Structure 1
Amino acid sequence: MSALRPDQRLWITRAALVLSALALLLGAAAGPASAQNPKPTIVLVHGAFADSSGWKDVAANLRGQGYAVQTFDNPLRSPAYDSAQLEKKLTDIPGPIVLVGHSYGGFVITNTHDPEVRANVYIAAFAPASGEFVQGLLNPITYPGSRLLPPALQVKLVENDPTGIAGRNIDGYIAQPYFRDIFVQDVSPAVAADMYAHHKSAALVANLEPSGAPSWTTVPSWYLISQQDRVIPPALQRFMASRAAPGRTAAVDASHASLVSRPDAVTAIILSAATAVSS
């Protein structure tokens, strides 16, 4: 082959530089695989008669897997009010989100509509259809078995509640002697006592306000049934799961508060959802 002329060598050098620059630009645009499919932030939503401390072990497990985790201090006032507060929180979270709701927290995530939410995960939770409400779903004729009834279930007057009439509201709570047997019978008395120290009452209207359009009709959802649940009967959980999470349902031999008594099983189904939406 004859030697290249100086002008030819210059042209080839310039072409190589252009191609190298294009490769760098394309690489920067594409980024590493982890940037293309970032791990979602997982937001944990507690239900009635609890606070965010119940998620402690689950949150630690998820953070150990490299996930950003946030908890939501559920006001427990009503589905519309509580979901509006959750939506405000979500606006400050960049990137994709997985919402996890326990018990009444499922009502809240069902009524939360944010374009960044990629999955819902229901943990022994309500997953209502439009127009359904807590007390209607807990119909003892259709789904017997809930022990969340008087005298275990008590009511009290709550002062300084801006969501109530004239700043007052009527809340329901579980009387202390019944708490462990109804809510979390599969933990030690000491753990149950600590949970009761974090017990939060819920406005009665939260049990009576109908759900709006359910997010699970458009957001992929997962459901973990608690098979020894004494708050939401397992048969009712299976019914709700069949609508909201067909093909993405698992079960655990646990009380209503499986997030405390079986955190590894709860973590596993959350990871299933998070992995699916980031793959």
Structure 2
Amino acid sequence: MSKPHVVLTPGAWHTPQCFELIIPKLEKAGYTVHTAQLPAVGSDNPPQDLSQDVAKVQELVTRAIGDGNDVVVVPHSWSGVVVSSALEGFGKKQREAKGQKGGVIKLAYMCAFLVPEGVSLMDAIQGNIGPWWEVQASCTYSVVVDPSVFYQDLPPADQEKYAAMIKKHSFGTKKAKSTGAAWREIPLTYLICEDDLAIPLFAQELMTNAVKDMGGEIETERLKSSHSPFLSHPNYVVDWIRRAAGEKL
């Protein structure tokens, strides 16, 4: 039996390059990996709602399902809002009920925003823009002014390397309300990063506890990591994704 395909969605300001340490390890373990830069990141004509990002995630997942593959979707940070909005109806159980093969068997949220329908990232942070990012160009873009907040547990040279990859991000997509909550339908595992400076521990715990209170099917694991565990703890993250895919490790 073939292994599930894995879809990785980068967070705000980031491109798929941030996953360069974990993709080869997943492929070596027998997984087919799909990822793409989301439209909100790096565009000179940025979208002002989530529709383009939702469409890109749906395209990725549809490609991963193919002729009937199982799929694990791994959103990081802001892209958790996009994935929640994009994947209602993409769960394996929901697809099988319509006579379709394959589908998403697990959402694996990696220190990602986990919100119900009608809630934006800005709602989730109560409108509080941290000192490490700011809004520019007539509220069109959000830019990072202190990228070390993502990478404080990496060596200085690596912090500089990955900070140089950061791009501008559409501010409109941070204000845009989520349009779905796929985690109500699809089993969810959440990697809580205890040393995260971008989404602090208390915020991750609030979101995961809220999902439990709303009846969501959720498991959690905890890791002493920054906001970028795929860089600081790549082997752990790969094993966590493999567990999400059903392996016993």
TM-score (norm 2): 0.82
Q: Residue 52 of structure 1 corresponds to which residue in structure 2?
A: 16
Q: Which 4+ runs in 1 deviate beyond 4 A?
A: 244-247
Identity %: 25
Helix, strand or coil: the match of 1:183? helix
Query: Is 1:179 the equivalent of 2:170?
Result: no
Of 234, 246, 249 in structure 2, the residue corresponding to residue 275 of structure 1 is 246
Of 43, 48, 56 in structure 2, the residue corresponding to residue 85 of structure 1 is 56
1:187-242 CA-partner distances (Å, limit 9, x unpaired):
01111111122102211111111111200000011100110111112111112223
Would the aligned equivalents of 2:109 and 2:189 in 1 still touch at CA under 8 Å? yes
Q: Residue 155 of structure 1 corresponds to which residue in structure 2?
A: 135
Looking at structure 1, the residues matched to 153 and 61 of structure 2 have their Cα atoms a distance apart, in angstroms, of: 33
Helix, strand or coil: the match of 1:84? helix
TM-score (norm 1): 0.73
1:78-104 CA-partner distances (Å, limit 9, x unpaired):
433201121123323312211100001
Query: Is 1:121 the equivalent of 2:108?
Result: yes
The CA deviation at 1:49 is 2.0
The CA deviation at 1:265 is 2.0
Name which one, 1 or 2, has greater alpha-carbon Rg: 1
Helix, strand or coil: the match of 1:70? strand
The CA deviation at 1:268 is 2.0
Summarize the alignment of residues 14-29 of structure 1 with structure 2, pairs less than 5 Å apart.
Answer: none
Structure 1 residues not aligned, in runs of 5+: 1-33, 141-145, 159-168
- The Cα RMSD (Å) is 2.2
Would the aligned equivalents of 2:192 and 2:222 in 1 still touch at CA under 8 Å? yes
Query: Is 1:73 the equivalent of 2:37?
Result: yes
Aligned length: 221
Summarize the alignment of residues 117-266 of structure 1 with structure 2, pairs less than 5 Å apart.
Answer: 117-139=104-126, 149-150=130-131, 152-157=132-137, 170-175=140-145, 178-180=146-148, 182-242=149-209, 243=211, 248-266=219-237
Q: Residue 166 of structure 1 corresponds to which residue in structure 2?
A: none
Structure 2 residues not aligned, in runs of 5+: 41-46, 96-102
